[in-house]
A and B are shown apart, each in its own frame.
Chain A
Amino acid sequence: MRVPSHATPSVKTRTVPTVVLILYSLLLALGLGLGSTYLVLQGDPPFGSLRVGPWRSWPAMGSANADPYMRAILAQRSEIPLAIGEGLGFTAATDSEGRPLDSACTYRVGSVVPNARLWTLSIYGPDGRPPRTELGRSSFTSAEVVRDEQDQFTITLSRILHDGNWLQLPAGGPFTIMLRLYDTPGATGTGLTESAFPVIQRVECGA
């Protein structure tokens, strides 16, 4: 008595799900595959990053050896990278102690930069645009920055006026700093040690 009553439901459960299982695995494949692609494209390239203190760079992005993730991300952002022969760009989204950059705080950036024909230090809002501030300036170049007797400099990032090299931060929210070294002998990634890069020091918050 028991055997047939047991067999009948098992036959039923086997015939119905086959299609369902195929559909399930296909949906799983599409969902996970496209979902992971979407997530990767929103972020930074997962491989090939060069990390010097708070500064990050992807030197291969501007070369013929850019990996498929870099190419996909560049295409998605409609970005044009600096080529390796032109220079190297570094991004910082945190201070030197790893805390995210916040425009409510005051930062001091300095005092050295790796050897380059020209460097620029610019700030950007979360949308990748230079912030529109009353100061009307969002970057310093190596030619503009005021230096001390030791040939070192300090740039103050803050919402309120500071003497010396000052960049005004936007009213609120996170921001990023980009340091671009143009025509640098270090473009290949050699000689770029942390001591050659500017330190991003958080002075105070919530002023």
Chain B
Amino acid sequence: MRGFSRFLIATLCGLVLAVGVHIVSILATPHLAENDAFAKIRTLQAGDKAQIISPPGAQDTWLPFPDPAVAVATCAYDLREGPMRVSAQTGANLLSFSFHRESGGVFFAVTDRAAVRGELEIVAMTARQLDEARAAEDENEPSRDVRIVSPEQQGFVIIRVTAPTESQRRIAEEAAKAVSCVTEQGE
């Protein structure tokens, strides 16, 4: 009987610990995953232009469940080097930006409805860089930049351009590739 109750206690301890192991492993997965989107995007060659990860047509991409009518391009960013300015010329087709954190999760998204005179421009920065930018600003000439604060130093921007018909796929791909992502050097 005594042996059985000890066995029971051990089982209970095991169950309680299992809950802990489950929680820790779920929380750790986005940080440990070697195959997540950020890890794949980081291996792309950095440049001033966005890189296509899923061309319209949805062939030849690692992205699961790709939409054949959408060109998906991306820029990885590292705000330690300075704020990141993402800008695109908008056209007739839907164009959107979404900002993703390194550990997963979207923190900002905008579509071309927010574009001003055919141009959509967003500056991603850290809270500290935002303070500096505000301090450096001329009060008589306030900046017109749309600034967003990134919760993490690293992350990536996803650019989606839709191609409503098959003949527009090439245009959509070109539009997605033409998006520029420039790191601004701090003054």
Seen from chain A, the residues whose Cβ lies within 8 Å of a Cβ on chain B are 10, 13-14, 17, 21-22, 24-34, 36-37, 40-41, 62-64, 66, 68-72, 74-87, 117-118, 120, 122, 124, 128-130, 137-139, 141-144, 178, 180, 182-183
Excluding A27-B14, A86-B109, A183-B111, 9 further A-B contacts by CB distance (< 8 Å) are A17-B3, A17-B6, A22-B10, A29-B15, A75-B36, A76-B33, A78-B35, A85-B109, A144-B164
CB of B104 to closest CB in A, whole Å: 4
> Are B162 and A182 in contact, with the CB atoms below 8 A?
yes
| Chain A residue with Cβ nearest B99 | A83
* 14 residue pairs A–B, Cβ–Cβ below 8 Å: A25-B11, A26-B14, A30-B18, A31-B18, A34-B22, A37-B25, A40-B26, A64-B105, A71-B29, A72-B30, A80-B100, A83-B108, A85-B98, A141-B164
CA distance A13 to B7 in the complex (A): 12
CB of A128 to closest CB in B, whole Å: 4
> Are A33 and B158 in contact, with the CB atoms below 8 A?
no
Known contacts A80-B72, A139-B69, A182-B94; is-contact A74 B3 (Cβ 8 Å): no
CB of B41 to closest CB in A, whole Å: 9
CA distance A3 to B137 in the complex (A): 91
Which residues does chain A contribute within 8 Å of B98, judged by CB atoms? Answer: 62, 82-83, 85-86
> Are A71 and B30 in contact, with the CB atoms below 8 A?
yes
> Are A37 and B22 in contact, with the CB atoms below 8 A?
yes
CA distance A53 to B7 in the complex (A): 47
Docked complex: B16-36 residues within 8 A CB-CB of A: 16-22, 24-27, 29-30, 33, 35-36
**Of A32, A64, A76, A142, which one neighbours B36 at CB under 8 angstroms?**
A76
Seen from chain B, the residues whose Cβ lies within 8 Å of a Cβ on chain A are 2-3, 6-7, 10-11, 13-22, 24-27, 29-30, 33, 35-37, 39-40, 58-59, 62-70, 72, 94, 96, 98, 100, 103-111, 113, 158, 160, 162-166
**Of B15, B33, B63, B109, which one neighbours A84 at CB under 8 angstroms?**
B109
CA distance A115 to B168 in the complex (A): 22
Known contacts A28-B18, A64-B106; is-contact A80 B26 (Cβ 8 Å): no
**Of B59, B64, B104, which one neighbours A128 at CB under 8 angstroms?**
B64
Which residues does chain B contribute within 8 Å of A33, judged by CB atoms? Answer: 17-22, 24-25
> Are B69 and A10 in contact, with the CB atoms below 8 A?
no
CA distance A85 to B63 in the complex (A): 20
Nearest 5 CB-CB pairings of A with B: A33-B21, A28-B14, A29-B17, A83-B109, A85-B109
CA distance A75 to B69 in the complex (A): 24
CB of B135 to closest CB in A, whole Å: 27
Which residues does chain B contribute within 8 Å of A78, judged by CB atoms? Answer: 33, 35-37, 39-40, 62-64
**Of A63, A75, A141, A144, which one neighbours B29 at CB under 8 angstroms?**
A75
> Are A122 and B37 in contact, with the CB atoms below 8 A?
no
> Are B10 and A79 in contact, with the CB atoms below 8 A?
no
CB of A132 to closest CB in B, whole Å: 9
> Are B162 and A71 in contact, with the CB atoms below 8 A?
no
| Chain B residue with Cβ nearest A20 | B10
CB of B72 to closest CB in A, whole Å: 7
> Are A36 and B2 in contact, with the CB atoms below 8 A?
no
**Of B19, B21, B26, B69, which one neighbours A120 at CB under 8 angstroms?**
B69
Which residues does chain B contribute within 8 Å of A81, judged by CB atoms? Answer: 106
Which residues does chain B contribute within 8 Å of A72, judged by CB atoms? Answer: 26-27, 29-30, 33
